[in-house]
A = this chain, B = another copy of it.
Amino acid sequence: MTTSGGQETGRIETFSDGVFAIAITLLIIEIGVPHVEEAGSLSGKLVELWPSYLGYAMSFVVIGTVWANHHNRFRLISRSDHILLFLNVLFLMCVAFLPFPTALLAEYIREEEHRITAVAVYSGTLAVTAVFFTLLWLYAATNYRLVDRSIDPSLLRAMTRRYVLGMLLYALAFALAFVSPVASLALIVILALLFVLPEPEGQRGTRRRSLRG
């Protein structure tokens, strides 16, 4: 842990990891055991719960991806201060909020008159999360405020472009919700899966191609 001129970031990461791990695991308690009436079939009831499984899987992958991004980012951020701590708390507040829009999505995705609202709340929460993540990064990276000084400036710029782009794409997912809820959700899934591609920061201190070229 580098601590030159600031606090170390180890315990922020531990605390954030805890919040991520709990938020991701709490998703399951939103899925209640179905009650079967007389002469009903349990398997039928379980199949009807598909929006809950979908919401669970989607939010699990999204939170997992956001965790991995946060984790990778803090490998570049080597110092901490009160503002960073505070921005991180606001960011975690959005992450920990996700079980609520996930449950909302599972409850209302099948009802046409409420689908837009549910998807907009879901994608809107992700867009706000992306805003705080970008703010946190911009605060840390501007003028090498809290990042390791040995990092190539072009890498920092590539990261910034990546996060600003991500933020705009989540904002697009939010806007799409009002036109086509399904397209909005599809975009969110694609954004999460894009994470499987390697990040530009794979090697510290070397100029590399960013995700966007």
Contact = CB atoms under 8 A, between A and B. Distances in A.
Contacts of A13: 11
A61 to B, nearest CB: 6
A42 B196 contact: no
A81 interface: yes
B60 A93 contact: yes
Interface in A81-128: 81-83, 85-86, 89-90, 92-93, 96-97, 99-100, 103-104, 107-108, 113-114, 117-118, 121
Q: How large, as a class, is the contact surface on chain A?
A: 35 or more
- Copies of this polypeptide in the complex: 4
Interface of A: 7, 11, 13-15, 17-31, 33, 36, 41-43, 46, 56-57, 60-61, 64-65, 67-68, 71-72, 75, 81-83, 85-86, 89-90, 92-93, 96-97, 99-100, 103-104, 107-108, 113-114, 117-118, 121, 195-199
